[in-house]
Each structure stands twice: as structure tokens, then as C-alpha cells.
Amino acid sequence: MESVKFAQIRQLLDKSQSELAKLLCVSLPTIRSYEQGWRDIPAHAERHLLFVLSMKTAHLRNINYCWKIKQCPSSWRKQCTAWLYEAGNYCWFINGTYCQGENQMTWGKKITVCQQCEVFLSTFPDL
């Protein structure tokens, strides 16, 4: 995640840097360094931030399961953690999903695929 996007999400959440530091269980200087681009934003902080934003904006969306939106064949669904745990609108959050015909095992690879997906984009229309 880019530092500009991190700051944008903080603003969408209507949080000060101090409030976001408490939410993410990090120090205020850490938040400042993320937003200034001095430190890379770790996967756990990115996931937590996106999760909180998705919870805040859930009432604004017509929520549908990812496998219905993507019309995934049953052979793919059976290999997908989002389908197994009925977390279809949080598929972007869960590791081990089966997208584009392959298992997405790492956050870096997964979030790159997700950022191009209509499920993710419908969850975060302001990003």
C-alpha cells in the first residue's frame, strides 16, 4: 500500500494519526512514518486498515458473495477459503482464496489480484 493511500484511508475513517495509532496498536511516530513513506506499511497493518474501512462502509453497499459475482465454478469454490467459511464479501481479507484459477497464498500476491477485482473495488469505491 502506498503512503498516500494509507493517509487517504485514515481520512475516510475520520481518524487522527493518534487515533489510528491506537486502532492499529502502533505508535504515533509509526503512523507518521507510514504516511510520509519513510517506512513500508506491513501487511498486517494494511489488512487491519482495510478491514476497519470495510466495516465502516458496509451499510453503503449491496453485499453479494464473491463466487456469485465472479461466477466461479464449483471446482474452484471447493478450494477457496472464502467459500468454505462463507466469507464471500471478505474474500480480499482472507488468505488462501482461489482466484483466477489459482490459490492466492501470500498477501502481496493476493492484494495485487484483489485490487483489480470488482468485489474489492465495490467494497472500496473511494480508493
SS3 annotation, 46-105: HHHHHHHHHHHHHHHCCCCCHHHHCCCCHHHHCCCHHHHCCCHHHCCCCCCEEECCEEEC
Average pLDDT over residues 5-14: 95
Q: Is the pLDDT of residue 81 over 90?
A: no
Q: Do residues 87 and 53 both lie within one domain? A: no
C-alpha–C-alpha distance, residues 65 and 69, integer Å = 6
- In this predicted structure, which of 1-10, 28-37, 60-69, 118-127 has the lowest mean pLDDT? 60-69
C-alpha–C-alpha distance, residues 88 and 119, integer Å = 9
Q: Do residues 44 and 26 both lie within one domain? A: yes
Structure confidence by residue, pLDDT tens digits, 32-78 = 999 999 999 999 999 999 999 988 877 666 778 888 888 999 999 99
| Strand 102-104 with 97-99, pairing | antiparallel
Total count of domains within the chain: 2
Average pLDDT over residues 3-27: 95
Boundary of a domain, candidates 39, 60, 81: 60
Tell me how far CA of residue 72 lies from CA of 68, 95, 97, in angstroms: 7, 17, 12
- As a whole number, the mean pLDDT across the chain is 89
Which domain range does residue 7 map to? Answer: 3-60
Are the CB atoms for 105 and 96 separated by under 8 Å?
yes
Q: Do residues 108 and 91 both lie within one domain? A: yes
Per-residue pLDDT, 11: 96
Boundary of a domain, candidates 11, 27, 60: 60
Q: Do residues 27 and 12 both lie within one domain? A: yes
Structure confidence by residue, pLDDT tens digits, 38-51 = 999 999 999 999 99
